[in-house]
Amino acid sequence: MTSFREYREAMASGQAVEYQGPLLPSDALAFQGDRAGFVSRTVAAGIDVALIFILVLGTVAVFWMISFIVDPMSPGTPVTPSSDRVPSVGIMILYGYFLNWAYWTACWATTGRTVGNLVMGLRVINYKGGRVRWVGAAVRAAFCTTFPIGLLWVIISGANRSVQDVVLRTSVIYDWAVTIPGFGGLKIADPDSRSHE
């Protein structure tokens, strides 16, 4: 499988690049490997945050239901809102931040893609064009979770890089090629092996 750097160098030198993976529209192939813009990155992050929000609400609902099993109400007790059965808003926000950090860390360190990235055809890479390591992914996830406004720098930056990308030397690229490692991807064509017609 060809790395992002090898792919970009091959494209810059005019070498042919064969695509061996899921078929993509020609418009998508033209952007393959380019740094992603503000809108696609914002939509991907929005999808991820929405998933975490749903997970937080689901967790709270489960704990709320379990609280009635552990401490049931007696039949004559009037129904009133009980603050001890539902965590405070502050605790839910902290829980959501932690889940978001853990989710982004795990996804960026393993595949470079979150669910939002998959939907938008994006991948997070390091400065060499490869996968971000666990420590780098954890720092990037903490930076993105606590300072999401850093994404606005993509609009100003000529290189489509957020503040997080500049500081940590990462990039978010268009990469619609979702393949199983070892079973295809982008391959730089050997001009001697091609048949001349």
pLDDT-based confidence at residue 50 (cuts at 50, 70, 90): very high
Over residues 162-175, mean pLDDT: 94
Q: Say what the pLDDT of residue 187 is.
A: 44
Percent of the chain with pLDDT over 70: 72
Distance (Å, rounded) from C-alpha 176 to C-alpha 31?
A: 9
What are the structure tokens assigned to 42, written together? 């914002």
Percent of the chain with pLDDT over 90: 51
Q: Say what the pLDDT of residue 70 is.
A: 79
Q: Say what the pLDDT of residue 148 is.
A: 92
| Nearest partner of 114 among 185, 36, 21, judged by Cα | 36
What are the structure tokens assigned to 21, written together? 């993976």
Q: Are 161 and 153 in contact (CB under 8 A)?
A: yes
- Give the model confidence (pLDDT) of 101-150 as tens digits: 999 999 999 999 999 999 999 999 999 989 999 999 999 999 999 999 99
Contacts of 8 (CB under 8 A, 6+ apart): 33, 129
Higher pLDDT, 11 or 81: 11
Distance (Å, rounded) from C-alpha 31 to C-alpha 128?
A: 19
What are the structure tokens assigned to 10, written together? 């091959």
Q: Say what the pLDDT of residue 133 is.
A: 95
| Whether the predicted pLDDT of 194 surpasses 50 | no
Question: How far apart, in Å, are the Cα atoms of 16 and each of 6, 7, 13, 173, 188?
Answer: 12, 10, 9, 20, 6
Out of 22-36, 56-70, 77-91, 133-147, give the one with best mean pLDDT.
Answer: 133-147
Strands 17-20, 170-174: pairing is: unpaired
What amino acid occupies position 5?
R
Higher pLDDT, 139 or 183: 139
| Whether the predicted pLDDT of 166 surpasses 90 | yes
Q: Return the residue matching tokens 């420590």.
A: 135
Q: Parse the chain into domains and list their residue ranges.
A: 4-72+87-189
| Whether the predicted pLDDT of 49 surpasses 80 | yes
Q: Are 159 and 35 in contact (CB under 8 A)?
A: yes
Q: Say what the pLDDT of residue 192 is.
A: 42
CB atoms within 10 A of CB 147: 13
Q: What angle do CA 178, 189, 6 make, to 5 degrees?
A: 60
Q: Say what the pLDDT of residue 64 is.
A: 83
Higher pLDDT, 42 or 3: 42
